[in-house]
Structure 1
Amino acid sequence: MSSGTLDAGRADASRVAAQAEIEARTPPAAERRPKRPTPVRILVVTLLVVSTIVFIYPFVWLVSASFKPRGEVFDNRLVPQTFTLDNYVQVWQEAPMALWLLNTLIVTVLACVTVTISSALVAWGFAYFRFRGRGVLFGLVLATMMLPGAVTMIPTFLIWNALGMTGTLTPLWAGNLFGSAFYIFLLRQFFLGLPRELFEAARIDGANNWTIFRRIALPLTKPALVVTLLFEFQAAWTDLMRPLIYLRDSSTFTIPRGLKALVDQFGFGGEWHWEIIVTASVITTVPMIILFFLGQRHFVEGIATTGTKG
């Protein structure tokens, strides 16, 4: 038998084997058809749709009401019968919204950055280093989560008052320099899920503890850091209690404190200007929605992968 015949036979055998492998990987036509929705699937989808409507309806109503005149705010129409932009013009005239937004942005950014860095440092210490009493110290950190905010409210105020910081924005964010027990727990669990061999290999290559933390640990914990930033952004952006305690001058008001001032200003005499209040609420809510949509992928990933290792 000639070599050409042998080569042709091998080629045919290869083609037959490849065709058989393709047919084995290709599902039958019956399996490729889309499955009909089962009653359970229909029920789940229906519940999800209903839940979505329930959750988004208040915000849709709020946006719709912001485009209505005062007499139609509570007519429960999602499409305004009388569409107007006067509310958005008036709210900027009646209140220093730009200044309040700037104050809120300053406080929120400083609070997010400081609590993320400080909590990550503490969490890295609890996750990476092995020392006597580590479990007890970590338990004490978690125990601070059990203290109600009202317990530490007066001592904290006395401290800031003694430092001469009342009436300024500093008390609204500077406490985050010492970290947060919840974020420390969140980040520690993520650090524990990282392979320790990476850090040991970096140490063999001559990296010190700071280099390992900054160049290896932090990049790998990006989803958890985004979760921390989003949580703290929401907490600082919507915080009303501390501005009520520490802020006196309207030039230092944040958005929640400013909204409280608008409610007080337009609520006297029994004539409530709800169109101004709902419009200001829409303006303050939109930045949070935008930020969540920008970071939702990391948010979901961080929540899904945190706490997988103790």
Structure 2
Amino acid sequence: MVVAKKFIYVKPFVGMPTADNVQIVEENLPEIKEGEFLAEAVYLSVDPYMRAYSNSYTLGQQLEGGQVAKIIESKNPQYPVGKHVMAYFGWRTHSIYDGTQRVFLIPDETIPLSYYLGIVGMPGVTAYFGTFDILKPQSGETIVVTCAGGAVGSQVGQLGKIKGCNVVGIAGTDEKLDWLKKIGFDQVINYKKTPNLGEALKKAAPNGVDCYFDNVGGEMASTIIAQMNPDGRIAVCGAISAYNDIGEPVKATPIQRYMIFGRLKMEGFHVSSLLHRWPDAIKELLGYYKTGKLQTKETVTEGFENMLNGLIGILNGDNIGKAIIKV
């Protein structure tokens, strides 16, 4: 009998998550049935959306999330023992696939397996669809990316460079800015050291902003939208400025007049609604990576028991690139 460990939600988050909000429990797994397989987690992902999703959790519920897992027992010929999958099994060490979970057999195991949680995983396809489906950047245009030092933002900038764009990245540490310059960002802004973001953006993007990939929301988003060129496009991916809000809702300068007079287009999206297109996107992203057009960086935390610490770290902006938990 296999004993799985999993994180469950035991106390509502108020502001930043703490150890009191979750608990690790054990679960005895049954023998697998025909069509099923048993998988053991190798790498798990922590992402900002996990904090936002907590508002819909019920007490006792397992926390949600993706992982790369190794198939250790199988009664499904499509998923042979020894292969790896990227799956949404949640925060747990062992899982039984019964046909209901989102599972992708990893197509190419010659690259680091953890990349299937980042550059060629959910963050990668998020950047891909947000950039190519919504922003639709044209050569010579200017793209601004917030949370640029994270897994999604850093990839949006690189995809923009592939399209011949001028890319401006906004992040919160000089270390992140140094890395963004190395991977091709044209201009970078440390918002924590910038007393006037609007003035800094005018210098970084003197010809205005054509495309904005928004991971933050709040006043930062209003400041950027105010400098957008006519017919600009905005992809709304996240609102991390409000995820830990415990007081008054985050307030920001109204953007309606910029939207109206600039004929701007703003679109929110959720990458899980595009699952049918993930395989093609991953194939293209693999090609970009293997030809050196995409680079990545990981912040790795060791130990399944440190999942929550990894999430807190990403909400504090401690990570550069993709935050990964190595089991």
TM range (shorter): under 0.3
Q: Of the two, which has the highest radius of gyration? A: 1
Q: Which has the higher contact order (CA 8 A, sep 6+)?
A: 1
The structure in which a higher percent of residues are helix is 1
State the TM-score, normalizing by the size of structure 1.
0.23
State the TM-score, normalizing by the size of structure 2.
0.22
The structure in which a higher percent of residues are strand is 2
